[in-house]
Copies of this chain bind each other. A is one copy, B any other.
């Protein structure tokens, strides 16, 4: 028997959107990328620029982002050793997503307050 297949296929959009979500999932990845792209380079600075993030979460997310080649961890052999996080060029490709989310978030907040 053939499939029912009564539904409309939306896989052309759903699949790539899911691929993107897999990379930038969670509460923290985009905030971290934004912070690093803004110019924060050191662990403590990144941490302090993002309210509420704990060092454990930050360390884990930084590793994830490095694996996806969105940031790189640079070790400066000095006394003492310094560690810097820099955005990779690939991180720039996320700018349209970040801008779209920022615009939507600003509008959403206005919408919520105008109701209340």
Contact = CB atoms under 8 A, between A and B. Distances in A.
Contacts of A51: 11
Given A7-B49, A17-B34, A104 B93 contact: yes
Given A19-B109, A23-B108, A96 B100 contact: yes
A104 B108 contact: no
A100 B73 CA distance: 27
Copies in the complex: 2
A49 B101 contact: no
Nearest to A37: B10
21 contacts: A7-B44, A7-B49, A8-B38, A8-B40, A9-B38, A10-B40, A10-B50, A13-B34, A13-B102, A15-B105, A16-B103, A16-B106, A17-B30, A17-B34, A17-B105, A18-B27, A19-B105, A19-B109, A21-B27, A93-B104, A100-B100
